[in-house]
Amino acid sequence: MNLLAFLHVTSAAGTLPLLAIALLLGAIHGVTPDEHTWPITFSYAVGSYSTRGGMRAGLFFSLGFTIQRAVFSTLAFFALTTWMESTHVEGIIYVVVGLLMAASGFIMRTRGTTIHLMPFVDKLLPPLDARKQPPRSLAMLHGLIAGMGTGAFATILYTTISPAMPSAAVAWLPGALFGTGTLIAQVLIGAAFGRAMQRRGLGDAARGFVGRTIASITLGVGGAIFVASGLLTLVLPSLANFTIATGIPVPNLSSINLGLLMVITTVPVVGGLSAVYAMRKVRKDPGVVEQMPQAVHHHEAHAR
């Protein structure tokens, strides 16, 4: 029995089983390589260069993602998400997310900090340590935008689970639980990325240099990849439907498609090569840390 058939059978059992499935699907979505989560979480988590910083990166990205999914889950209940079936929507989302990634990477590289597009979010939330890198508001904004992307998980959520809710009052729950499942997975993944940076055997300043270098390059080059992919799908919509079946019965792993290629190119390739470059740079020339933008020095001076 395939997943959609299973969901139709489960829907007869009531609302709670469907909500449990929404939470489970969200966790699977957060664990599997997805172009709307992994490149962004990786960049911010590595840039935070600590386990706790990585957890924060995954947390606030996923908070924005969860809010978006809860809102769109309600819209799906009223059958107001059919416009998302257009291949143009995914292309536009790629371009917007890519531009935001590239802008953040450029500013991080040249100024040692990231842009605060939603400063009121940081003011409303409890204060972090003096580093506050990367800002929670930017990670949350990325989540809000990236969550608008389509795909197998969004299709299942919006066409099967959300419409099966008993009333509009609870129509937001599938999206919220799906986002919560993704949040749990992304916090753990963010912690793993941050922990990997923390275990590099470098001092705080050197680790900060390596983390910022990897994050800025990954965001910058990854953003360019996203923009190029988005523009290509707008010009050649058939690319959005390009798939090579893998035989794995799990969304995001069931086929090789443009999204998976974007994840592979951005995270292991760009992220991996930038990590090699940054580590060699700091070991070959330790003084390069002193050339970091002043904003990073300010935060490092107050780091624990």
Q: Is 6 within a domain?
A: no
Helix spans in 199-293 (H): 204-235, 258-264, 272-284
Q: What is the DSSP string of 126-169?
A: PP--TT--S-HHHHHHHHHHHTT--SHHHHHIIIIIGGGSSSGG
Chain-wide mean pLDDT for the chain?
77
In the numeric block, which tokens belong to residue 251?
Answer: 């969304």
Integer distance in angstroms from the first to the last C-alpha of the chain? 53
Instruction: Provide the percentage of residues in the chain whose pLDDT is more than 70.
Output: 77
Give the least confident one: 4-8, 44-48, 143-147, 259-263: 4-8
Q: Is 5 within a domain?
A: no
pLDDT score recorded for residue 73: 93
**Would you say residue 53 has pLDDT above 90?**
no
Dump pLDDT digits (tens) for 187-235: 888 788 777 777 766 677 777 778 788 888 988 999 999 999 999 989 9
Q: Is 50 within a domain?
A: yes
Give the mean model confidence (pLDDT) for residues 64-88: 85
Dump pLDDT digits (tens) for 138-193: 778 878 887 777 777 888 888 888 988 989 999 999 999 998 998 888 888 878 87
For the chain, the domain total comes to 1
User: pLDDT band at 289, cuts 50/70/90?
Assistant: low
Q: Is 231 within a domain?
A: yes
User: pLDDT band at 70, cuts 50/70/90?
Assistant: very high
Tell which residue, 254, 273, 265, has the closest CA to residue 229.
Answer: 265
CA 41 vs CA 60, 72, 219, 243: distances in Å: 10, 22, 10, 25
Give the least confident one: 201-210, 239-248, 251-260: 201-210
Give the mean model confidence (pLDDT) for residues 290-294: 54
pLDDT score recorded for residue 1: 42
Rg (CA), the chain: 20
The distance from CA 6 to its chain's CA centroid, rounded to whole angstroms, is 28
Q: For tokens 């291949």, what's the residue?
A: 87
Q: Is 11 within a domain?
A: no
- Assess contact for 111 and 125: CB atoms under 8 A: no
Higher pLDDT, 229 or 46: 229
pTM of the model: 0.73
By the 10 Å C-beta count (0-12 exposed, 13-18 middle, 19+ buried), 167 is classed as: exposed
* Contacts (Cβ under 8 Å, ≥6 apart) of 15: 164, 165, 166, 170
Give the mean model confidence (pLDDT) for residues 234-243: 83
Residues in a beta bridge with 245: 255
For 280, the domain range is 16-301
> How are beta strands 243-245 and 255-257 bridged, if at all?
antiparallel
The distance from CA 44 to its chain's CA centroid, rounded to whole angstroms, is 9
**Would you say residue 108 has pLDDT above 80?**
no
In the numeric block, which tokens belong to residue 208?
Answer: 């900060």
Higher pLDDT, 30 or 224: 224
Higher pLDDT, 190 or 263: 263
Q: Is 4 within a domain?
A: no
Tell me the three state secondary structure of residue 200: coil
According to the 3-state scheme, what is the secondary structure of 256-272?
A: EEHHHHHHHHHHHHHHH
Q: Is 2 within a domain?
A: no
Give the H or E element holding residue 255: strand 255-257
pLDDT score recorded for residue 243: 85
Give the mean model confidence (pLDDT) for residues 249-275: 85
Higher pLDDT, 110 or 21: 21
Give the mean model confidence (pLDDT) for residues 88-98: 87
pLDDT score recorded for residue 69: 92
